Chain A
Amino acid sequence: MAEETKKFMYINRKAPYGTIYAWEALEVVLIGAAFEQDVSVTFMDDGVYQLVKGQDTSGIGMKNFSPTYAALGDFEITKIYVEKESLEERGLTLDDLQHLVWEDEDEDWAEKDSIRLVNRAELGDVLADQDVLFNF
């Protein structure tokens, strides 16, 4: 079925626990990884909160699904775009986010950063280059 490879991007725009969008979006990303498309994931607007490290959901009785993002590299999802302005507007920096990596098979499994910090204009160019945008 994978006769054709398309550029798939999953855009995450919402905070992780107030609504179920973030969690169900992650489920789509994980299932979609099996389809061997050219996949990337974007975090922008309140979606950048999904990647904040040290999440503790014990006070709200909900499952902390944030460790799952660290597994994206194992699913060969190696392009994770984070919008710079979204971080800045929320008083966040890259240091507040999980350090997401993937292992490069072609370079003796060297560990490489998955997160690409891009500004709004650069992200616009990346979006324009996609075939399919999933918007959550």
Chain B
Amino acid sequence: MKLTIQVNEGPYQHQSADSAYFFAKAALEKGHEIYRIFFYHDGVNNGTRLTTPPQDDRNVVARWSELAQEHDIDMVLCVAAAQRRGIVDDGEAERNGKDATNMAPGFRISGLGQLIEGGVQSDRLVVFGD
């Protein structure tokens, strides 16, 4: 089955960031295809490489990056949500005159159309969040 996953909550604040990760991992292990993972609302905070969790805790962001690299998954941060919350890649830094970037490896920033298109192209859209 082809899946698009939407993550609406930030890491550590909310378990849905963890649940979405474990769901994605389990789906891949079962042979399903992940068309896209789209991060929205505070979910875009899953994509900052500046996160520094305590050493005895899981690293939610690094875990996503590894998953994306291992399975070549398209992981998209919503541009409007990312701008509000200060998640920045090179293009965004240039466009908005910011002096730094913080997007983690394996992510890209794009528009909400990517979420809708995921819904159109996939067999199931699975939403994680409140």
What residues of chain A have their CB less than 8 Å away from a CB belonging to chain B?
Answer: 1-2, 4, 6, 8, 14, 20-21, 24, 27-28, 31-32, 34-35, 37, 132-136
Contact with A along B100-130 (1 / 0, CB 8 A): 0000000000011101110110000101011
Q: Please, could you name 19 A-B residue pairs with CB atoms under 8 Å apart, sorted by A?
A: A1-B117, A2-B120, A8-B116, A8-B119, A20-B84, A21-B41, A27-B80, A31-B112, A31-B113, A31-B116, A34-B113, A35-B113, A35-B117, A132-B120, A132-B125, A133-B127, A134-B6, A134-B119, A135-B129
In the bound complex, CA of A6 to CA of B117 (Å): 11
What residues of chain B have their CB less than 8 Å away from a CB belonging to chain A?
Answer: 6, 8, 40-41, 80-81, 84, 111-113, 115-117, 119-120, 125, 127, 129-130
Taking a contact as CB atoms under 8 Å apart, the answer to whether A6 and B41 are in contact is no
In the bound complex, CA of A37 to CA of B119 (Å): 10
In the bound complex, residues from chain B placing their C-beta under 8 Å from that of A31 are 111-113, 116
Q: Taking A21-B41, A31-B112, A32-B116 as contacts, is the C-beta distance between A135 and B80 under 8 angstroms?
A: no
Taking a contact as CB atoms under 8 Å apart, the answer to whether A35 and B116 are in contact is yes
